[in-house]
């Protein structure tokens, strides 16, 4: 039987329900692995050892009695340290001037608890979920960045310290670190999951993100998280479909739209060659492949999204920034200062550009099931001075579209490579079915050393 730290969420759930795995023994094994790897990887802000063990004992007793709280009963997870957890400090990767001690869980955390999950603790984030790096290391090679801003969540899943973690994505903060760390990163449609109780970077752009080890894990986690939250006016009222039930449809080869324009033109030689090889492999397995051209609005989407992010970050931080500006790290400080200089006219124009981009993309998703491109132009950069380039993820975040990163190979330097798939708004069932088919076809099984 596989070591418990290598199990996926769905494997853990099945074994707990079958009486083959105790939630308590699983948490104990993961805590031991954290103890062994954390001095090098540095993925955690706090490990709630006592709280996790207590909850695991409760889940174990319930399982023995045949009572299961939900589809994540006994599944351990980590939370990026911008999620409020009752009684646990939220640091947002910043100094003490920004720390908060919430008295209630974020809506997403409450839903996870309600489904039976066990919270192991808080994972590292770049300061206020922007670009200033953490000390977290890539589990595949500690000399390289794990990406950001969901640095600790990706590193913890990639290092098999935990099978599931929540991140967030405003530009590329879930998919990019997941790709760098050999994990799956999934960002649903904007508004699909409530952001209440998650510290914002930019309200119009922020998404709850899922980092895990299989497409099935992403589907079952979204099933728990999705749905309107009356306490979050930005959460969508769209009906919640059966994401898990969509996966059996993955037997049909998908229609894929290959984006060479911009993405392969800007990717490094190794990533471009890898993406072409993956496309050929998927085509040989039966996928339909069509090279697509991006709409005219694509040319302005990056600037438009950046302006929205600048203004909304400035709006959220304005009061605190007025008295603590010097305590902010350089990149987030620069973002806020830029936002304070922009006018309302510029902000509205940027929001209109975002809407036009999403509307112009819609016809593409009538021709294909998903768009195909790299997650990033190169593997994880060496050194901890940068979290990498989010440019390849940015358009889909700024358009609010669902995206998923799948590990797809290993670069010459031993670091993971990944593909990115994008579908239309609120079409997560189709995206997950495509991703599951690609996952099965590619059969990625490499793991970091140790």
pLDDT at 378 over 60: yes
For residue 108, indicate whether it is catalytic: no
What torsion, rounded to 10 degrees, do the Cα atoms 194, 197, 203, 205 define?
Answer: -50
DSSP codes joined into one string, 223-253 = HHHBS--TT-TTS-------HHHHGGGGGSP
Active-site option among 13, 22, 42, 80: 80
User: Considering the entire predicted model, what is its pTM?
Assistant: 0.98
Cα(226)–Cα(53) distance, integer angstroms? 27
Cα(335)–Cα(65) distance, integer angstroms? 53
Cα(85)–Cα(59) distance, integer angstroms? 19
166: Cβ contacts below 8 Å, ≥ 6 apart: 77, 78, 79, 80, 83, 108, 112, 153, 208, 209, 210, 211
What's the confidence (pLDDT) of residue 1? 57
Average pLDDT of the residues of the chain? 97
What's the confidence (pLDDT) of residue 261? 97
Active-site option among 4, 13, 22, 149: 149
Q: Do residues 207 and 188 touch, judged by C-beta distance below 8 A?
A: yes
What's the confidence (pLDDT) of residue 2? 67
Active-site option among 13, 151, 153, 173: 173
For residue 122, indicate whether it is catalytic: no
DSSP codes joined into one string, 376-432 = SSSSPPBBSS-----TTTHHHHHTT--EEEEEEEE-TTS-EEEEEEE--TT-HHHHH
CATH number of 4-246: 3.90.1300.10
Q: Do residues 16 and 118 touch, judged by C-beta distance below 8 A?
A: no
Cα(92)–Cα(69) distance, integer angstroms? 30
To the nearest whole percent, how much of the chain has pLDDT over 70?
Answer: 99
What's the mean pLDDT in 371-391?
A: 98
Domain regions of the chain by residue span: 4-246, 298-358
- Look at 31-40, 59-68, 135-144, 241-250 and tell me which has the smallest mean pLDDT: 241-250
pLDDT digits (tens, 9 = 90+) for 140-179: 999 999 999 999 999 999 999 999 999 999 999 999 999 9
pLDDT digits (tens, 9 = 90+) for 52-104: 999 999 999 999 999 999 999 999 999 999 999 999 999 999 999 999 999 99
Phi-psi region of 383 (alpha: psi -120 to 50; beta: other; left: phi over 0): left
Residue 44 dihedral angles phi and psi, to the nearest 5° = -115, 140
For residue 386, indicate whether it is catalytic: no
Peptide bond into 439 cis (omega under 30): no
């Amino acid at each position: 039987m596989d070591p418990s730290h290598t199990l996926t969420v769905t494997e853990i759930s099945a074994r707990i329900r079958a009486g083959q795995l105790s939630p308590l023994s699983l948490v104990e094994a993961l805590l031991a692995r954290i103890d062994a790897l954390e001095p090098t990887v540095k993925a955690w802000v706090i490990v709630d050892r006592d709280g996790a063990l207590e909850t695991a004992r409760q889940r174990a007793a319930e399982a023995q009695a045949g009572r299961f709280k939900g589809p994540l009963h006994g599944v351990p997870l980590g939370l990026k340290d911008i999620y409020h957890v009752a009684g646990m400090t939220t640091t947002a990767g910043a100094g003490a001037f920004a720390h908060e001690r919430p008295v209630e869980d974020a809506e997403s955390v409450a839903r996870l608890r309600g489904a039976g999950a066990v919270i192991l603790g808080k994972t590292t984030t770049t300061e206020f979920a922007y670009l200033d790096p953490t000390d977290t290391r890539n589990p595949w090679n500690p000399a390289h960045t794990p990406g950001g801003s969901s640095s600790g969540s990706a590193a913890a899943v990639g290092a098999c310290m935990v099978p599931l973690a929540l991140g967030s994505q405003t530009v590329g903060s879930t998919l990019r670190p997941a790709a760098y760390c050999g994990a799956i990163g999934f960002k649903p449609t904007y508004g699909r999951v409530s952001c209440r109780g998650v510290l914002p970077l930019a309200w119009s752009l922020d998404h709850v993100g899922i980092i895990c080890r299989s497409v099935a894990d992403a589907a079952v986690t979204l099933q728990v998280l999705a749905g309107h939250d009356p306490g979050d006016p930005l959460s969508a009222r769209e009906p919640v479909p059966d994401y898990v039930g969509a996966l059996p449809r993955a037997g049909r080869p998908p229609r894929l739209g290959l984006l060479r324009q911009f993405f392969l033109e800007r990717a490094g030689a190794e990533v471009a060659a890898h993406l072409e090889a993956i496309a050929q492999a998927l085509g040989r397995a039966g996928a339909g492949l069509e090279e697509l051209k991006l709409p005219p609005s694509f040319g302005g989407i990056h600037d438009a999204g950046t302006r929205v992010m600048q203004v909304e970050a400035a709006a959220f931080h304005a009061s605190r920034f007025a008295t603590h500006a010097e305590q902010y790290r350089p990149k987030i400080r620069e973002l806020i200062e830029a936002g304070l200089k922009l006018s309302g006219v510029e902000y509205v124009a940027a929001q209109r550009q975002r809407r036009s981009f999403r509307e112009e993309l819609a016809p593409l998703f009538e021709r294909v099931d998903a768009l195909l491109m790299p997650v990033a132009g190169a593997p994880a950069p060496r050194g901890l001075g940068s979290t990498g380039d989010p440019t390849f993820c940015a358009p889909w975040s700024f358009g609010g579209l669902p995206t998923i990163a799948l590990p797809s190979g290993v670069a010459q330097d031993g670091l993971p490579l990944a593909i990115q798939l994008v579908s239309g708004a609120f079409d997560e069932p189709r995206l997950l079915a495509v991703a599951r088919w690609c996952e099965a076809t590619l059969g990625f099984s490499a793991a970091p050393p140790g």
